[in-house]
């Protein structure tokens, strides 16, 4: 299991300042991304502390502030690969390998996470919700979603596709969450539709948008947090 964040300097060692030297092999834009990635302090911390991705620190920061994950809770993690958020959830709800209380799903394959059940399938598959609930064995206390659509290179298209995933995750959360539960999902700045926000505001005690420090400054990603599920409404509400 991954170690908890920490370290002598809180950053898992000094940041490296490396540059790729083989010019002409990759595109300049790809070169810039790779140089930024290998110099990223969160990448180094993740490797040093045993997290599978730097994204783990986004969930850690949000949970440290809002106290979402508690021992004994049930958690569903949508778009889980490579498993950073799953690791954090397992650690914080104290999910045991013999009786997992965390279920993760992604159409991309990912290595097993002790303490979690991992489903390799598309969340948008009609059978996915049933498979998730069967594997979890009860209503989730938290639904997490770090899903993002594969990029096409067209900014508006990529934006709309990821917003659609956020909305699908929210609809699922509204159908399955236990009363008092929480929903946390990736979205984009200005990307959450007003209709969905209005519905979430009716269904949860508190709605927040946030951008963790671990999110890259140039990224347009935000995270939508809906706390305190009021329960399923009747009469079309």
Which pLDDT value is given to residue 2?
41
Quick check: 184 and 201 in contact, CB under 8 A? no
- Indicate the range of 32-36, 43-47, 116-120, 175-179 predicted with least confidence: 32-36
pLDDT at 17 over 70: no
Which pLDDT value is given to residue 191?
55
pLDDT at 235 over 60: no
Catalytic residues: 186
3-state secondary structure of 30: helix
Q: How many CA atoms lie within 13 A of 53 on its CB side?
A: 16
**What pTM does this model have?**
0.80
Which pLDDT value is given to residue 36?
54
Closest CA to 114 of 139, 89, 144: 89
Which pLDDT value is given to residue 31?
53
Q: How far apart are CA 140 and CA 72, in angstroms?
A: 11
Q: Which residues contact 82 (CB under 8 A, 6 or more apart)?
A: 52, 53, 108, 110, 111
Q: How far apart are CA 119 and CA 115, in angstroms?
A: 13
Q: Which residue has the higher pLDDT, 9 or 81?
A: 81
pLDDT at 216 over 90: no
Which pLDDT value is given to residue 71?
98
Sheet holding 142-145, edge to edge: 116-120, 102-106, 75-78, 142-145, 182-188, 221-229, 204-210
Q: How far apart are CA 223 and CA 179, in angstroms?
A: 21
For the stretch 129-160, pLDDT in tens is 999 999 999 999 999 999 987 767 776 777 77
For the stretch 57-95, pLDDT in tens is 999 999 999 999 999 999 999 999 999 999 999 999 999
Domains and CATH numbers, the chain: 1-50 (no CATH), 56-229 (3.40.50.150)
Average pLDDT over residues 192-207: 88
Share of the chain above pLDDT 70, in %: 76
Average pLDDT over residues 215-228: 85
Average pLDDT over residues 155-171: 85
What value does the mean pLDDT of the chain take? 83
3-state secondary structure of 204: strand
137: left (phi over 0), alpha (psi -120 to 50) or beta: left
Give me the residues paired with residue 103 across strands.
76, 117
Among all chains, which residue has been given the structure tokens 């290179």?
Answer: 153
């Amino acid at each position: 299991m991954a170690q908890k964040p920490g370290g002598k300097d809180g950053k898992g060692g000094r940041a490296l300042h490396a540059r790729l030297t083989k010019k002409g092999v990759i595109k300049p834009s790809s070169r810039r991304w790779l140089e930024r990635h290998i110099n990223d302090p969160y990448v180094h911390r993740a490797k040093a502390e045993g997290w599978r991705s730097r994204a783990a620190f986004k969930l850690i920061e949000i949970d440290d502030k809002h106290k979402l994950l508690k021992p004994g809770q049930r958690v569903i993690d949508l778009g889980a690969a490579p498993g950073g958020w799953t690791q954090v959830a397992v650690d914080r709800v104290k999910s045991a390998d013999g009786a997992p209380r965390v279920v993760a799903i992604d159409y991309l394959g990912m290595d097993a996470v002790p303490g979690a059940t991992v489903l390799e399938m598309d969340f948008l598959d009609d059978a996915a919700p049933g498979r998730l609930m069967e594997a979890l064995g009860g209503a989730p206390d938290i639904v997490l979603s770090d899903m993002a659509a594969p990029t096409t290179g067209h900014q508006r298209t990529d934006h709309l596709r990821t917003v659609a995933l956020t909305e699908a995750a929210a609809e699922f959360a509204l159908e399955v969450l236990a009363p008092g539960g929480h929903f946390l999902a990736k979205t984009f700045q200005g990307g959450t539709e007003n209709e969905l926000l209005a519905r979430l505001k009716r269904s949860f005690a508190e709605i927040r948008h946030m951008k963790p420090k671990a999110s890259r400054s140039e990224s347009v990603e935000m995270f939508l947090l809906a706390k305190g599920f009021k329960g399923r409404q009747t009469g079309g509400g």
